[in-house]
Structure 1
Amino acid sequence: MEKFNNAKLLSILVMIFILVGFMPTICKAEEKAEENNSITMNVSYGIDGKFKGSMAIPVNVEVENKGEDIEGQVEVRVPTNSYNTYDAFVSEVKLASKEKRTVTIPINLPEDCSKMSVVFTKGKNILKENKITVSSGRVNENDLFMAILTDDFNGINIKDLNFADLNNKNRKGEINKTVNVPLNLDSLSKGSKNISQLDVIVINNYNISNLQKEQYENLSTWINNGGTLIIGSGENASKTIGSIDKEFLDVNYKGTKDVNGYTLANLSLKDSSIKLQQGENPLIYLLNKGKGKVYIGAFDLGNKNIASKDNVMNTWKESLGNDFINKNNIRNRYGNGNNVPHQMDQLSNDVPVKEDFKMGVLISIFICYALIAGIIVYLIMKKLNKREWLWGVVPAIAIGFSLVLYLLGGSTRIQDLVLNQVNIIITDESGTSTTSGYVGIGSKYKDDLIVKEPNGASIQAYYSNNDNYNGRNKDANALTKLGTKTVYRENNSYYEFKGLSALQMKKFEISGHKEIVPKIEANLNYNSQKLVGKVKNTFGYDIKNLLVVSSNSVWDLGEIKSGEEKQTEVDTCASSGLNQYASNISKNYRDYKNSNDKKQNKEEFKDVLRMSSLLRGIEQSQLSKKSTYLVAITNIPVDYGFDFGEKSISKYDTTAIIQEINIDFTDTEGNLSYPLGYFKGEVAQADQNMDIDTQNNVVHGSGDMVLDYLVGNEINLLDLKVGYTENQNQKKSGLKGTVYIFNYEKNDYEAINYIVNGESLKNPNQYIKDGKVTVKLQGNDEEGIGSPQITVKGRAK
């Protein structure tokens, strides 16, 4: 009987396996390529085939539907550093029958990657796929990338600038050449990311009234992020300046006039300066806007009579060349390849701790629990002869202590999402503010994360050095797993991350956000190394630390409560600029940590390292266009408008407000007196081996370097000194060489005694002409040497 049962069971199992073998196999289908002949797709990349860097490279995909109406997605897939993993950049597309459409998708293509896959999908099915190799079109980082919006591309003289002369006398950096491409309205319509690679945009002989609101917004965002816009006028001023949106550029056009055979526009531009003029006629205006600049030529940029003149072309060459070199130098300082300062990257990644959970309290609670649950309760139950109740009393006590721990840990607990924001708000003299944000977003749990672009702002994901693409899988055929999905919908975008580890911060740079903050009321006077006056905090939030920065001088006004008006009289901080000040407070914190007196100074040093990193990032970015400005460190919250649905958020704000101010530099005798380092030296000429570090105010190398200091024509000099600012980070200060100053009466250089504070020069007006003081230094040592600074005293004309 047992054998029969075993044989019967074995037969049944064999029959089951046979039936399973004949049954159709069912499996979960992955994305599957099903070529659809009704869909055709052509792919190009860049702006007119050119692109620069690795971020936001525009990929242009022309899709044609020869079949029935279809809703799908165009998706560009780029390999990541993880095996078989790709990042997807997606645009949703609705195509009617017989319709052809071009979509532009900005992607991030790291330096070591040249392969990408472009697919058209419907649901999980791939209807069309193109494999693309990026083989040409990359613009060198030292090439000035210029796009021109005009009806006469070949007539623009500015596109043929030759920077060889500038490179020979300027060792701050080099420009290889100018790479020019035509620009069309479509590029301006599809978001500021698609033009973010451009260094310069030129608009000339073009009807600007064709621009729509979204195109103005994209152009404005691009400028605020560091772009340079040039607009020509002259005989075509009615098409350009006369048609421009006043909200975009507050310029008043008053017709034209003829001067020496060419036409100039009569212009009035609010908050602008004159970069070049001929007699009483302004030729080029300059307006600072956010991190970028706007130049307006009072003439048509295709006018041979004016545009070919040496002084005009030299002005364009020096202005654009220096702007480009300075921007490259700032980016090179970041050292992380994503155009984000290292300090901002670090701050947005590290969540600030509000409250430290005291370990002593935790130990005390556990001791109390052990005593109560293990001894006291036992003795009480024993005395009452109710020891059998311990099975219920001990768990109840444990629950009670757990509740106490839960409540005590409330200050350190985070919600579903962490929103860690570093905000930089820059306010100019007119009260207009621009905001730059660096935001880290992470989930409390291992989870998917969707980050939508807020209305009225643009976000760009960026990566740390830890996220580099080394070891990238370059085989586009092996990409099966999705990493980050970036979806562009109309003029907005959102990022979708899959299976993030807990508190793995995803970081974004935010631009275009408008934040209105009141101006700090300040009435300050500089006299005999002291800053005296009144400051009132009008923010509605406490200022943790208020600094006044004037080139290399930093005055620390300390904490100012909300609504408080503070009378101040402070000496100059012993630093060589904001970077050195940040180094000093970090050193003070380290000294405090190594001391035994930590309780007394705890509040003074709270978040001091975070403030130090923020100040370094501000200095590194060179955010202020003025030599004198306020920096207020606060916790003012900024609402960028992120929407995370039902998820709760733990939000942290570290905010710096930079405000341009005017300090009265008149001393008690009625003289104008400017501190050492107020006037910054611009490199006019330098030998091959000479280099100046403006961040730390030192010069390296052997050879000659000439520096120009623009003091201005509004002062009659009474005293002039040339010295240097001591830098505590350098092993030695001073110059192992010779320093000279140019004597305009003798038309020759004179050697001077180069000491820290400088020595007064006799007959100081011999050393200034057209508001300029020129200093030459000869270095003969490779070690760092003090960068020459000047201090000026005089009477206003």
Structure 2
Amino acid sequence: MLREQRNGMCASLARFAAVTALLSVLFPAAMMPAAAAPMAATAAPAPTVPVQAGTVVAEPVRLHVVPGYGGDYKPYHLIPIRVKVSNNGAPLKGLLRLAMKDTQPQVGYHVLPVSLDAGETKTYTLFGSEQISMPNIVVRLESDEGLLIAEEKVGGRGLNTGDKLIGVLSEQATTADFLGSLRRENAQSLHRVQHLSEADIPETAQSLKMLDVLVINGFPAEKLSAVQTEAITGWVENGGILILGGGAGYRRSAAPWLDLSPVSVHGETRWNGLRKLAEKAGVENVPSGPLTVAMGKLAGGRIIVEEKGIPIIALRPVGDGKVLFCAYDLAEGPVAHWPGNSPLWSRLLLPLIDGERAEGLNGGPRGIDFWQSLAMAAERIPAFKTPPIGVLAALLGAYILIAGPILYHVMGRWGQREWNWLAIPVAAVLFGGGLFLFGAKDRMGGTLVQNLSVVELHDRWADITTGAALFVPEGGTYRLQAKGGEIPRPLEMPDFSHPDHQQVHLSGDGDSMSLEFRDVEFWSLRKALFQQTAERGRIASRLVYEDGKMAGTVINQTPYAIRDARLLYGAEVIPLGDLPPGEAVPVDVLIGNEPVRQVTTFMGPASLIPLEKLLPGDPDPALAATRTNRASRERDILGSFFQGGPVLPSGEVEFFGWTDDPVVDYEIPGHPLRAVHLGLVHSTLDLAPGPDGSMLYAAGAFTAKTVNGVTEADRGANGFLVADSPIILDYMITEPESSSFFKQNGHFTPTRIRVDFWTHEPSFVFKKEIYDWHRNGFAEWDKVASNDCLDREALPYFLSPEGRLRFRFSHEDPALLQKFIGLPHLFVEGRMAP
């Protein structure tokens, strides 16, 4: 038996040797020993074997990764990740990927091709979400074949939602560091200061949105490209705050933004001390020592601090943002380390960057809820609308008649009733097939796309957000290629460890970004979000307040045909009709008489303007039920715009209109598109005083500041809870910098104030009191006001010399339960004097 086993083994070895010899003849390169492998490689390249993540095959290549600005980044933003690639080895080509450590090669979210010569260093920008704060998120450099060349952890520091990020462009390393010590009383938010270089400034305003404030002081602006300076301008118009430092280097550092500056500078001088600056800061320590001050005259906006007839600090609204002029160099000796910096800039900057609206009383900044609700609303594609119930009932009735009495009668006439066993199933198949084809006709013939957009217009630049829903008729890969500078992103930022999310890829940079969905299922839906800041014209206006009326014209200077336009001021909605591009519409309407009413919504009672008034059609809310279905998409967009909350008065003249024109520009190569577009166009307009200086500031123009009795838990978006302790609120009426709605430089003198009070429970009676500054005590509101109004004779008693109006609210519920009291709305008439 052993002999048989030996014979079998010999036979096997003989066969193996024969096969090996044959293979060595047919494929000599494959059978060479290891020492000869390099020679064989010239004839046929060896197959690439991907290495495991974390294995570095090229030490000379180094990555330096900085997310956000200086490593700081904020949630709910598309976060730029700057990657510096240093190649000290041979020339290389490959791909940068934002990915999860230890995942398979060629898997990642943002993918960017790279190419470097020997000894070359380049900086690339990837984009990610707040998920980059996870410890296992890395930037990976791979070869085209999937070999890992280098890898670096993203790292950085994620800020909280309420934290503020302040960027500084300066040649001095410590310029404006004092801005990091600003604190609002009882606030938990931080103010982070990051010193930037010209390389940190992106080329799109959209990528700057993480910054709340940008300080430019003693920095040579010529280091910035024209595209970068335009991006900063667009960022300001869309809500950014730009601080221009003065001194000897003002003209050089502020050159690209001289037209935006509130002060026109014509020279400079040397001073020894700025006493008015110390007075504004509320400190006795005056900055002393020689100081270079830029001299000029007010060009727009208003002066906040003035000394010897020269504006020292001035503020100018620009679109939704602001430009703050500072006549001195923030880094110059006498003021660089002045103890009054923190109190001064807390008074100047906190009301602007924190914004009372984001403080909790009037809502907060938009974020992921806005994006998700907009993209989800895009799912309501008109082509998928269910046929009317009457049509479905008629079709079902026809089928019953055909499959029942008609076939029975016909087959009876033919004497073939036994054929009904076949005829009825055939009729059912034909009927079902017909219904299928009827329903499928709108799903065939190309990729069906609906784009729902919100276009927020400013002076020149627009902030555009689009939620897109794509219904794909067949499976495969779909790549959304942006053509107009938009930045596409999936509705949900990918979970890198989730297999489905590994099929979503962002690629490209600059003006050519694309979002790719791989392995899409047949007849499925994909959703994407597009964000862009671009020039789209503006809604121009010439509106004045005179004799109790708003009068003037509104002009459409955008490329969009706008329909069903409205103006909203306070609680009044003014219909304008349709506005083709370039057209103007007259306005002449009484304002200030409509109270802010309590309206019950699905979220409960609230003080708001009925949403139906802003929907297309007749603005009368009583007709809302007749157009609920027709306006469902418009209703969804408005709900996204107001973040699902109440429509609160803003204090400004707001423009709302609708357009069916394309707002976003993208294509899907290889797939024809059938696109449906709907966009909300929104803008804020100026209302100027009349020739005699008369002016009306409507509800929302003045923000309440709590004096006592309110904790953070008691505050809501539009009111507060009162328990056994009274609540005291202050409104600053005549101090311009207390409100961002004062766009005129002058002194406002109120002549009449109307106050709208409200609560969730109409039967709940609460006590309202107003402070009498002459008698130094509170007086009952109902005894001093006439029809909830304070007239010219009463105002000297209840308006303090500095313009403060103080209310106290309480209730006498025996159970001492917390009761909700709505935030009062003020309508203030008066005169603006130079």
Please give the TM-score of this superposition, normalised by the length of structure 1: 0.75
Query: Is the aligned partner of 1:162 residue 2:161?
Result: no
How many angstroms apart in 1 are the aligned matches of 2:572 and 2:148? 62
How many angstroms apart in 1 are the aligned matches of 2:318 and 2:361? 19
Residue identity in the other structure for 1:254 = H
How many angstroms apart in 2 are the aligned matches of 1:449 and 1:278? 63
Alignment of 1:297-316 (within 5 A): 297-305=326-334, 314-316=343-345
Residue identity in the other structure for 1:642 = Y
Residue identity in the other structure for 1:774 = L
Query: Is the aligned partner of 1:175 residue 2:211?
Result: no
Residue identity in the other structure for 2:394 = S
For the structure 1 residues 481 and 576, does the alpha-carbon distance in structure 2 shift closer, same or farther, using more than 3 Å as the test?
A: closer
Q: Which residue number in structure 1 is paired with residue 241 of structure 2?
A: 228
Query: Is the aligned partner of 1:153 residue 2:186?
Result: no
Q: Which of 689, 703, 724 is the equivalent residue of 2:711?
A: 689
1:273-309 Cα offsets, whole Å, 9 max, x none, are: 4344346322233344455433222222123445677
1:520/1:535 contact within 8 Å kept: yes
1:542-565 Cα offsets, whole Å, 9 max, x none, are: 633624222xx2325386587887
Residue identity in the other structure for 1:656 = L
For the structure 1 residues 279 and 322, does the alpha-carbon distance in structure 2 shift closer, same or farther, using more than 3 Å as the test?
A: same
Q: Which residue number in structure 2 is paired with residue 643 of structure 1?
A: 667
For the structure 1 residues 518 and 277, does the alpha-carbon distance in structure 2 shift closer, same or farther, using more than 3 Å as the test?
A: same
Q: CA deviation at 1:480?
A: 11
How many angstroms apart in 2 are the aligned matches of 1:331 and 1:783? 16
Residue identity in the other structure for 2:566 = L
Give unpaired runs (5+ residues) of structure 1. 1-14, 590-597
Query: Is the aligned partner of 1:77 residue 2:104?
Result: no
Residue identity in the other structure for 1:644 = I
Q: Which residue number in structure 2 is paired with residue 593 of structure 1?
A: none
Q: SS at the partner of 1:680? A: coil
How many angstroms apart in 1 are the aligned matches of 2:234 and 2:555? 32
Q: CA deviation at 1:416?
A: 0.7
Residue identity in the other structure for 1:361 = V
Q: Mean alpha-carbon deviation: is it higher for 106-115 or for 367-376?
A: 367-376
How many angstroms apart in 1 are the aligned matches of 2:104 and 2:138? 16
How many angstroms apart in 2 are the aligned matches of 1:126 and 1:577? 62
Q: Which residue number in structure 2 is paired with residue 785 of structure 1?
A: 821
Q: CA deviation at 1:61?
A: 3.4
Query: Is the aligned partner of 1:495 residue 2:509?
Result: no
Residue identity in the other structure for 2:216 = I
For the structure 1 residues 767 and 387, does the alpha-carbon distance in structure 2 shift closer, same or farther, using more than 3 Å as the test?
A: closer
- Give the aligned CA root-mean-square deviation in angstroms: 5.4
Q: SS at the partner of 2:662? A: coil
Q: CA deviation at 1:92?
A: 1.3
Residue identity in the other structure for 1:237 = Y
Q: Mean alpha-carbon deviation: is it higher for 621-630 or for 310-319?
A: 621-630
1:221/1:511 contact within 8 Å kept: no
Q: CA deviation at 1:334?
A: 7.0
1:203/1:231 contact within 8 Å kept: yes
How many angstroms apart in 2 are the aligned matches of 1:655 and 1:756? 44
Q: Which of 469, 482, 486 is the equivalent residue of 1:441?
A: 469
Residue identity in the other structure for 2:86 = E
Q: Which of 60, 73, 80 is the equivalent residue of 1:52?
A: 73
Alignment of 1:637-676 (within 5 A): 637-661=661-685, 674=696
Q: CA deviation at 1:439?
A: 1.8
Q: CA deviation at 1:622?
A: 12
Query: Is the aligned partner of 1:256 residue 2:275?
Result: no
Q: Which residue number in structure 1 is paired with residue 62 of structure 2?
A: 41
Q: CA deviation at 1:202?
A: 1.4
Alignment of 1:86-165 (within 5 A): 87-110=108-131, 113-130=134-151, 132=153, 134=155, 137-154=157-174, 156-157=175-176, 159-160=178-179, 162-164=181-183
Higher relative contact order (CA 8 A, sep 6+): 1
1:425/1:657 contact within 8 Å kept: yes
How many angstroms apart in 2 are the aligned matches of 1:67 and 1:468? 34
Q: SS at the partner of 2:251? A: coil
Residue identity in the other structure for 1:444 = V
Q: SS at the partner of 1:167? A: coil
Q: Which of 695, 713, 731 is the equivalent residue of 1:708?
A: 731
How many angstroms apart in 2 are the aligned matches of 1:413 and 1:582? 44
Q: Which of 267, 270, 294 is the equivalent residue of 2:323?
A: 294
Q: SS at the partner of 1:125? A: coil
Residue identity in the other structure for 1:102 = T
Q: Which residue number in structure 2 is paired with residue 61 of structure 1?
A: 83
How many angstroms apart in 1 are the aligned matches of 2:384 and 2:579? 19
2:371/2:529 contact within 8 Å kept: no
Q: Which residue number in structure 2 is paired with residue 210 of structure 1?
A: 223
For the structure 1 residues 353 and 770, does the alpha-carbon distance in structure 2 shift closer, same or farther, using more than 3 Å as the test?
A: farther
Q: Which residue number in structure 1 is paired with residue 277 of structure 2?
A: none
How many angstroms apart in 2 are the aligned matches of 1:560 and 1:191? 32
Query: Is the aligned partner of 1:546 residue 2:578?
Result: no
Q: SS at the partner of 1:110? A: helix
How many angstroms apart in 1 are the aligned matches of 2:638 and 2:257? 36
Please give the TM-score of this superposition, normalised by the length of structure 2: 0.72
Q: CA deviation at 1:215?
A: 1.7
Q: CA deviation at 1:93?
A: 0.7
How many angstroms apart in 2 are the aligned matches of 1:357 and 1:69? 62
Query: Is the aligned partner of 1:324 residue 2:353?
Result: yes
Q: Mean alpha-carbon deviation: is it higher for 120-129 or for 539-548?
A: 539-548
How many angstroms apart in 2 are the aligned matches of 1:625 and 1:290? 19
2:541/2:553 contact within 8 Å kept: no
Q: Which of 486, 504, 518 is the equivalent residue of 2:506?
A: 486
1:671/1:793 contact within 8 Å kept: no
Residue identity in the other structure for 2:211 = L
How many angstroms apart in 2 are the aligned matches of 1:347 and 1:205? 47
1:774-796 Cα offsets, whole Å, 9 max, x none, are: 21425576321132344445566
Residue identity in the other structure for 2:457 = I
1:557/1:568 contact within 8 Å kept: no
For the structure 1 residues 160 and 357, does the alpha-carbon distance in structure 2 shift closer, same or farther, using more than 3 Å as the test?
A: closer
Residue identity in the other structure for 2:819 = E
Q: CA deviation at 1:182?
A: 1.8
Q: SS at the partner of 1:238? A: helix
Residue identity in the other structure for 2:201 = L
Q: Which residue number in structure 1 is paired with residue 450 of structure 2?
A: 419
2:361/2:719 contact within 8 Å kept: no
Residue identity in the other structure for 1:705 = I
How many angstroms apart in 2 are the aligned matches of 1:577 and 1:144? 35
Q: CA deviation at 1:648?
A: 3.0
Q: Which residue number in structure 2 is paired with residue 10 of structure 1?
A: none
1:207/1:240 contact within 8 Å kept: yes
Query: Is the aligned partner of 1:773 residue 2:794?
Result: no
Q: Which residue number in structure 2 is paired with residue 741 of structure 1?
A: 771
Q: Mean alpha-carbon deviation: is it higher for 309-318 or for 358-367?
A: 309-318
Q: Which residue number in structure 1 is paired with residue 739 of structure 2?
A: none
Q: CA deviation at 1:394?
A: 12
Q: CA deviation at 1:320?
A: 2.7
Q: CA deviation at 1:208?
A: 0.5
How many angstroms apart in 2 are the aligned matches of 1:276 and 1:400? 80
1:423/1:638 contact within 8 Å kept: no
Q: Which residue number in structure 2 is paired with residue 361 of structure 1?
A: 391
Q: SS at the partner of 1:37? A: coil
Q: CA deviation at 1:505?
A: 3.6
Q: Which of 511, 529, 534 is the equivalent residue of 2:532?
A: 511
Q: Which residue number in structure 2 is paired with residue 281 of structure 1?
A: 310
Give unpaired runs (5+ residues) of structure 2. 1-14, 24-29, 31-45, 273-289, 616-621, 737-745, 812-816
For the structure 1 residues 587 and 490, does the alpha-carbon distance in structure 2 shift closer, same or farther, using more than 3 Å as the test?
A: closer
How many angstroms apart in 2 are the aligned matches of 1:756 and 1:342? 47
Q: CA deviation at 1:487?
A: 1.7
How many angstroms apart in 1 are the aligned matches of 2:86 and 2:112? 15
1:223/1:289 contact within 8 Å kept: yes
How many angstroms apart in 2 are the aligned matches of 1:234 and 1:300? 4
2:64/2:152 contact within 8 Å kept: no
1:32/1:126 contact within 8 Å kept: yes
